[in-house]
Chains A and B, each alone.
Chain A
Amino acid sequence: MKNRTFFWFILPSLITMLLFIALPIVSVFVQSLHIEHEAVLTEVENCGPFGCTQELQINVEETQKLKDERPLGQFNGFGTYTNRNHLAFAEISQAWQSREGIGDFFSQALNLPFYRALAFTLAYTFVVTPLVLILGFLIALGVNSLPKRIKGPTIFISLLPMIVTPLIGSLILFWMIDAQGVLGATLQNLFDDPSLSLKASPTLTWIMLMVYGVWHSAPFAFIVFYAGLQTVPADTMEAAMIDGASRWERTRYVVLPHLMPLTVFITLIQLMDNFRVFEPIVGFSAQASATSLSWIIFNDLAGSEGQFFGSAGATSVLTILGVGILLIPVLIRTWRDFNRKVV
């Protein structure tokens, strides 16, 4: 294709990408560099059904003047990024200087909202992603060797966890693990401990969220692997069988290498998805024990009386950076594979 033709061919996609992907991200970034104007406060008397009190109130006219001058707010540079509710540079360096040991430093760092959320987000990502890959692969192998007649219904049932809306799925599980729910009561019976509660302890909450994550995402890996299994070349398989390869050896030396590009694809998607873990935290009411970066953004925008656009913007940009860093190894690998094939 000539360069000129290629340019006209790709132009519509480029424009849409610019409008719907690049521009919103730039706007979020610009917003994250600003904070609200200094509020002009005046003391007034407020009265209601329960009597009168002297209280501070925002002087709307004065504040409106400031807003009209500069609608974006005060420029704050990277101030929001470095403050206590985000990267907390000052608090981290103080914790480092006053540390009584490396454990003490970490416990001080994990007391800060951003690092606490990051800790759960990373733990979730790195536990759930490999488990989803392994479980999805095993289910695919199992389903693939089923007789034709029951394959269809089995595939449908295996896909159910992915079909259920995440929030609904997590709410249903949340009720089931209640001390009076099916799972919760069974566990109490099993361990003979009437005070066992999956919701009360932070450790158990983490495990519960991760189990939910695997349950929800495994069908995705399964269906991709299952599609891949249909393309495994039959002659190679037969050749391996004639050579006397066992089922394990065939899986290890024929099937797995064949599915490698799919594994990279699933890893990529799962790393991105899991780094943005959000719905189960809301569904499981787990915010006391586990928060994630996406949950912080939600809390800035909808969890409270006011809305913190600058703060939400800063966390969003940090999340995008985080996803970028996570994906680098996978992207490098894809890039190398690509170059090898071209040559």
Chain B
Amino acid sequence: MFLKKVALVGAASLWGSTAMADCGIAAGNISILSNDFPAIQAVTTAAAACAAGDVTVETNLTKDHKDIMVAALTANPAQYSSVIVSNSTLVTLMNDGLVRPLDDLVAAHGSALNKNQLITANGQVMAVAFMANAQHLFSRTDILQEAGVETIPATYEDVIAAAEKIRAAGIMEYPVALNTKAGWNLAEEFINMYMGTGADFFKEGTAEVAINNEQGIATLNMIKSLVDYSNPDYLTYDSNATQAEWEAGNLALAVMWGSRGGAILDDEGSTETVTSNTVLTGAPTWGDGARPASTLWWDGISISTNVSDEDAEATFIALMKGITPEVVQANNDAAVWLVAGYEPSAASAGVAATASGGAAPYPMLPFMGALHTALGAEISDFLQGSESAEQALADVEAAYTAAAKEQGFLQ
């Protein structure tokens, strides 16, 4: 994995150095804050190659970007001229007016962009997406066949039936894994599963939460039936843990992030048996729901409000250089790119199938973060068997309501 990163960054910078001359920026200070994974590394490295003469480029790639971005962009001038955002972080920045509309910059420098890359709110372009992500099913075909399961499960009911067959055949005691670490990850699983029912999280047009209903209870029960086939340690499983378990060959069916697909299918960290039999398919549906039980995410470019127009323009041009078809082709398997020139591959099949199956995007609501936090703290009691589903959902509603009042969304 590490070697691959080095090679990736090396390749991108090599490409960057040949293109250094034609960024077309006269002068400006460019500083980028972002999450840290291979696809983003490729983009920022290519953008950083624009540094020359009066143009300076600084990048800060960190998993903790969420914790510092608001404070860093509230300062005037802002510490960073751009944050690489996703559905949820863009809302947090927009809540405080910390990112600027990009319409004029897109008109001037974004002629190569696809229309579906533009993230608009109230008619204004607030971000430019370059990749998509979603959680979906990873299956081990050899183990499914050994257990007598001929087709890859398309519904969660099928997943449970297949898991039972695998357990009954004595192949694996705990064949299933989801990212169920208490906190953000577990809440994300609830949101994905609840999305599959088609029900709304909030009462129409208000910030009042509406998950304490039939669908909410069914959602909790479905997650519980799935984790019955997970290792008892499941409440500590995050993406790194599930990926490691998968690569170690301890799992047969897992719901993981699409952005992990490239790393799982490559020839590092695992055996030939595991990688050659791993198949990525769309997120399953369940119950009466027709849409895949998953949320669609994008990652994209935003520009700070509190920087000079000159720096904003320089940053936008540099980041456009970070998402050219050349960069995408050089890093094709690192992500599901939304940029022209991307060739779909085995690693992206799951995200593509989830999107085409009609999964909904993660809600861009200002109070979604508060609900996400409340879910992460309250539903593990139910999974551990210390309270009922009704009680867990009532707790979520109460915790959310107290938090939303404090943030001014409810009175």
Contacts and interface: CB of A to CB of B under 8 A. Distances in A.
A44 B398 CA distance: 27
Interface in B175-193: 181-184
B67 interface: yes
A179 B120 contact: no
Interface in A170-225: 178-179, 195, 197, 199-200, 202
A58 B363 CA distance: 14
Interface stretch (B76-84, B92-100, B155-163): B92-100
A306 B370 contact: yes
Given A56-B205, A299-B373, A302-B67, A308 B233 contact: no
Contacts of B355: 50
Interface residues of A, number: 57
B170 interface: no
A39 B408 CA distance: 5
Interface residues of B, number: 72
In the complex, which of the residues A55, A61, A303, A306 has the most CB atoms of chain B within 10 Å of its own CB atom?
A306
B275 interface: no
Given A60-B96, A197-B233, A43 B398 contact: no
A35 B373 contact: no
B402 A85 contact: yes
A46 B120 contact: yes
Nearest to A51: B361
A311 interface: yes
A163 interface: no
Nearest to B361: A50
Contacts of B123: 44-45
A195 B232 contact: yes
Contacts of A38: 408, 411
A16 interface: no
A80 B402 CA distance: 9
Contacts of A83: 402, 405-406
Interface in A93-113: 111, 113
A48 B384 contact: no
A197 B232 contact: yes
Nearest to A285: B236
A64 interface: yes
Given A85-B399, A303-B183, A305-B372, A39 B70 contact: no
Nearest to B378: A113
A153 interface: no
A201 to B, nearest CB: 8
B407 A41 contact: no
Nearest to A291: B377
Nearest to A306: B369
A49 interface: yes
Contacts of B118: 47-48
A339 interface: no
Contact of B182 (A60, A73, A76, A285): A285
Interface in B245-262: none
Nearest to A194: B173
Contacts, number: 177
A307 B408 contact: no
A200 B207 contact: no
A45 B407 CA distance: 23
B102 interface: no
A48 B92 contact: no
Contacts of B401: 84
A48 B129 contact: yes
A41 B184 contact: no
Interface string B383-394: 010110001000
A41 B207 contact: yes
Interface in A252-303: 284-285, 287-289, 299, 301-303
Interface string B99-120: 0000000000000000011111
B35 interface: no
Contact of A58 (B70, B95, B387): B95
A236 interface: no
Nearest to B116: A49
B364 A285 contact: no
B406 to A, nearest CB: 5
Nearest to A184: B233
A57 interface: yes
A340 B50 CA distance: 74
Interface in A310-324: 310-311
A13 interface: no
Contact of A48 (B119, B377, B402, B403): B119
Contacts of A200: 232-235
Contact of B366 (A56, A113, A179, A197): A56
A51 B391 CA distance: 35
A55 B123 CA distance: 13
B151 interface: no
Contact of B184 (A35, A49, A80, A303): A303
B270 to A, nearest CB: 16
Interface string B35-59: 0000000000000000000000000
Nearest to A48: B119
A250 interface: no
Interface string A22-47: 00000000000001111101111111
B343 interface: no
Contacts of A76: 406
Given A57-B121, A57-B366, A64-B97, A35 B407 contact: yes
Given A57-B366, A307-B70, A39 B407 contact: yes
26 contacts: A39-B95, A41-B366, A44-B123, A46-B120, A46-B122, A47-B118, A48-B120, A49-B116, A53-B361, A53-B363, A57-B366, A60-B94, A64-B97, A76-B406, A197-B232, A200-B233, A285-B182, A285-B236, A285-B238, A288-B182, A301-B67, A302-B64, A304-B369, A305-B368, A305-B370, A308-B407
Given A57-B122, A289-B235, 5 more contacts: A46-B122, A50-B298, A83-B406, A299-B377, A302-B64
